Chain A
Amino acid sequence: MTDRGENLLNAARVMEAFGSEIEAFKDELQKTLLGLGDDASVSFGEEDNAPDDDAYYDANVWVLRGWRWTFPAKERRHGRGGRRNLGALSVVADLGRLGSPTAALGFPCLIVAWSKLGGWEEDLDEITRFWPRSDQQEELRAERLFWWLKDPSNGEDEADAEERRARPARDASWFYLVPIIEVSGPAKLKSLVVDPVLKLLGGSRAEEAFSGADEVLRFRWEGGVSVPSDGYVPSPPSLPPA
């Protein structure tokens, strides 16, 4: 078989293996979130609001370039009983759709995004020019957390940037990026995906929320757009011999 033929078979095998593992990832993530229980100050429900798969397939419907899972969150109301809807945690497996962080960075990422109530998680499916981010749009906290200063939900929220900056994390919208391959098991899933989210929703500052999560990608602004900081060096891609 020619090298190119072998390459195609290997690509299919990789995607099959990845499909199996990313589904296991999602199951573990859901299990971890549901396992927080209703006694936690923030609790999560089962995945809902499935994405439009057309947004993730390639034009020929042969390759799925990612997926989004969204878990609704509720907040316990102290002293009043019951729980109120708070927002939603979305995790996008980004396999390099044009305009996505992965397409620019060159390695697959998870986009871990929080959207306050009335959020925009469905719009994450439509990212064709998501990356790079702009300093006109977000504040970058602890080099890792992109915190929306403008309204990502079509002007329904009329607060100004200063007000958004001052909001607690649970009432704001934000996201961060994790290299998929760094999520090497349940412990890393917890430390890189779940714990920072819970700490942020619990009121921790970004620096504190990301302590113990060194693999979360760091960025800085350069010329007004987001560029990777030093600190994470992805494995170089395997290149064919000359």
Chain B
Amino acid sequence: MLQAIAKKKINRFLERLPEDIVTDAVFGGLRYLVPREAGLVLEWLFPAPGFEQDALHGAEVLDAELWPPKRGGREPDALIRCRTANGVPLVIVVEAKWGGYTLDERQALDQWEHFVRPATEIGEALHAIVVDRREVAEARLAGDEDELRHTGREAEVRSWRERRDVILWHDVARRLQRRPLGVGSEQLQRWVEDVLSVFRALGRHPFEGFHRTASAGPVRTPVIPQVFYRRAPGRRSDWLGVRVEPAWEPVFWMARSEEASG
């Protein structure tokens, strides 16, 4: 599917359902990866959950389910069950919103009450809300928090905040793109590249310079002799067995002239 999206074979579906397709592209694949490699992807995506820095370091993914059965009338987009390096159960609840879509009223709060908070009773939990417009999501979450406060559950507000991570799709692409090279298997790296190609096809691929190119070496290059511009005009020179002549006319002009005369 990733390649079908990247190569624009299913554009008509993307126009209607980008949110579900992108969610599947990023989180659906975790189900098929080796547990530790899927954990690596989560480590890249969520480097610093509020409840514990590096909580996902060394974690393994036991299962990743998209659109799990509803609880309290709510269906998150993904439910990822993990085990931390210390053996603690960790559940990641993902709610994804693409483009102009935003959280419904109480949507995140219901997920906290029925999915995230129960998970904290037996281990740890992270509520990942992936959006395109952070300020809109934060405003909705602030309204949900007010509702908790009005019922005297201030401590829960703090607990939820510590376990909540609002990130942009742009951040998802950026974090995957900036993953360390040489970590994980070749298959994992290839899968991540395909996920990034989906973002690229959707115009969400971030540009951050050529840092990965620069850090991917060392590659030992032959020294290229700088003969082209040091040569006296009109003389020929040989480089790597190729005879080179100076360009006195733009080559495209010459090429067309030759074509016309030939």
Show the binding face of A for B, using Cβ within 8 Å: 3, 7, 10-11, 13-14, 16-18, 20-25, 27-28, 31, 96, 98-99, 103-106, 120, 123-124, 126-134, 136-137, 148, 150-155, 180-181, 183-186, 188-189, 222-228, 237-240
Contacts and interface: CB of A to CB of B under 8 A. Distances in A.
Interface residues on B, range: 35 or more
Which 9 pairs from chain A and chain B are nearest by CB?
Answer: A123-B252, A28-B207, A104-B228, A184-B209, A24-B207, A17-B212, A154-B256, A129-B247, A240-B220
A26 B168 CA distance: 21
Contacts of B212: 17-18, 20-21
Contacts of B217: 10, 14, 238
18 contacts: A10-B216, A13-B216, A17-B216, A27-B205, A27-B207, A104-B228, A106-B224, A123-B252, A126-B255, A130-B247, A132-B246, A155-B257, A224-B233, A225-B229, A227-B229, A227-B230, A238-B219, A238-B220
A7 B216 contact: no
Contact of B207 (A98, A136, A181, A186): A186
B238 interface: no
B210 A123 contact: no
A124 B228 CA distance: 19
B242 interface: yes
B165 to A, nearest CB: 24
A24 B220 contact: no
A131 to B, nearest CB: 6
A56 B229 CA distance: 23
B251 A130 contact: yes
Contacts of B135: none
Contacts of A188: 209
Contacts of A10: 216-219
B113 interface: no
Contacts of A123: 250-253, 255-256
Given A127-B251, A129-B245, A131-B228, A31 B206 contact: no
Interface of B is mostly: loop
Contact of A184 (B210, B232, B248, B255): B210
Interface of B: 177, 181, 193, 196, 200, 203, 205-221, 223-224, 226-233, 242, 244-257, 260
B120 to A, nearest CB: 37
A197 B218 CA distance: 34
Contacts of A106: 223-224, 226
Contacts of A22: 210
Contacts of B227: 104
B208 A228 contact: no
A153 B260 CA distance: 13
Given A16-B193, A123-B252, A189 B207 contact: yes
A104 B219 contact: no
Contacts of A128: 251
B116 to A, nearest CB: 33
A185 B209 contact: yes
A132 B253 contact: no
